[in-house]
Amino acid sequence: MANDPSRESKSIGRNIFAENQADFFKNKSEKKSQDNTSKKSDTSPKSIGRNIFSEVPNAQVPPARPADIGEDLKIIEKTSKDTSSNKSASVSASSKKSRVNALHLTKDNVVFAQTEYDGINYRLTNLQVIPIEPPQITEDNVFKDKKDPEQLIKEQQIDAIDKVFVRAGVAKNDPLIVTSLNGTNVIVKQLYVQNTPVENIEKELPSIVKSPFDVMSRYEYILLNSDGMNHDILAAVSDGSTFFSVQGMLTLTGVECKILDIDKMAIVNLYNESVRPPKGTVSCVIDIGMDFSHIMIIPSGSEELYIRNIDFTYNTFKKTLQRNRDISPAETEEMIRDRNFYDYITSAFEQETTENLNQHFSVKKYVRMHLLRELQKTFQYYAQQNQNKIPSKIYITGKALEMNKFAQFINKNTDIPCENLDIAGFFRGDSSVLDYAKEKESVAYVAIGLALRYE
């Protein structure tokens, strides 16, 4: 049934978001069959819908792990125990090791990750996640607490940074501390620069990449390919305020950070290290963050690396759903975590009446406009720019890992195999650290990506 072409065109996932093609009213047998299909696809690697973009490789969708955000820290210290049996690697590891400490700061978490690179493999030696929990506004304290919430978050971030460094036993002036510029005000774009000597690229970067931000914009670039005068570069522009706020925070906490990367690039590096894609493949990573989300198209060949910011974020989606269903934030989180994303976004439109459909329209519209349409636009743009190449596989990461059956939902709507990005499986090291990384994968992934920076 999954391979039946006549069914493929009626794929619920695709039809429900397709323009003027919503088949809301179906008989029960069809609904059942669709439910069965969706259930099967939970465990089956095969896609139900027709893959309009590329061949469907086998994709295993691991069940999303419910992450307990409110849970207090579990301190995982570095151990000397090595779970790997690769002796040759161990020998080389003893001869040459490089340790990287990564710090990822968000409004919701401060995450510290430490990796060691022995020249062949990475070991995850330390991971700490400290949630930032600003006091909830209640009727009692709404008039009493006059403190700016932003200031409260900042204070908690400073405390959390101090804690992670103390717990990790890492000096704040360690030469290899990496942190990142986060958010939408950081643009990454691949460019082709002609007739320019390498030493002049930096000088001419502001004229090559017009910054949409203020005059204090910061520019950086990586040389991808060069023949002397013509270069393929990956340019990055950051808003001055974003840059200086991170720097200010580091100064406040006394962290002598010498490397400031970009969160998106950390995710790209994490993908490359985790998946190790074969040459010539193009993949897509959908990163759903609390406040920032991105679609990243990552080639492993000569194609362009393309990153697009989208408005579909976990927080906004949660608020929209909460408002629509008129439930508490905790209930909304539980719903996102436990209920089938596909089910509560899509099935409602199939099972409910027109009145209910109208009632649920805002959520549907939000997902459709800010996620699916953006995804479609991104693929179309990328195909135009890169000889009709589109991603052959989609990986999801970030808070999307906490959305039950989100990968399945994407798979249904794009006909491209989709799975969770494994952020801990490729590491060697203590299983307790790796288990903790797996548990905190929805918040720790950027820090882990930042720590994949062997020097």
Partner 1 sequence: MYKFNFLSKINQEKYEAKKRDNFIKLLFLCFSSAMILLLGLLYLFGLSVNTDNKIAKENRQEINDKIKKLRSEDFFDNKLSQNIYNSMMKRKKISDVFSAFESSMDSTVIISDFLYDLDYMEVTFISRSSNVKSQLMSWIVAFKDNVEERMIQMGICEKNNLKLAKGPDIKKQFSDFTYWVFVLDLEFPKKNSNLSRGKK
Contacts with partner 1 by CB under 8 A lie at 181, 218, 220, 222, 234, 236, 238, 243, 257-262, 265, 268-269, 272, 305, 452-454
Are the beta carbons of 112 and 126 closer than 8 angstroms? yes
Closest contact distance (angstroms) between CB of 265 and partner 1 is: 5
Closest contact distance (angstroms) between CB of 167 and partner 1 is: 25
Closest contact distance (angstroms) between CB of 387 and partner 1 is: 22
- Nearer to partner 1 among residue 262 and residue 396 (C-beta): 262
Q: What is the dihedral of CA 116, 218, 132, 164, to 10 degrees?
A: 30
- Nearer to partner 1 among residue 367 and residue 452 (C-beta): 452
Q: Which are the contacts of 43, defined by CB distance < 8 A and separation ≥ 6? A: 61
- Nearer to partner 1 among residue 74 and residue 258 (C-beta): 258
Closest contact distance (angstroms) between CB of 212 and partner 1 is: 17
Token pair for residue 101? 């400490």
Closest contact distance (angstroms) between CB of 47 and partner 1 is: 30
Closest contact distance (angstroms) between CB of 379 and partner 1 is: 22
Are the beta carbons of 411 and 47 closer than 8 angstroms? yes
Closest contact distance (angstroms) between CB of 117 and partner 1 is: 11
- Nearer to partner 1 among residue 113 and residue 257 (C-beta): 257
**Using CA atoms, how far apart are residues 216 and 60, in angstroms rounded to an integer?**
46
Q: Which are the contacts of 258, defined by CB distance < 8 A and separation ≥ 6? A: 175, 176, 177
Q: What is the dihedral of CA 196, 202, 204, 209, to 10 degrees?
A: 110
- Nearer to partner 1 among residue 272 and residue 309 (C-beta): 272
Tell me how crowded residue 62 is: count the other CB atoms within 10 A of its CB: 12
- Nearer to partner 1 among residue 56 and residue 250 (C-beta): 250
Token pair for residue 124? 């995850």
H helix intervals, 44-138: 87-95
**Using CA atoms, how far apart are residues 84 and 77, in angstroms rounded to an integer?**
18
- Nearer to partner 1 among residue 59 and residue 295 (C-beta): 295
Token pair for residue 223? 């040389």
List the Cα angle 105/62/30 in 5-degree steps: 120
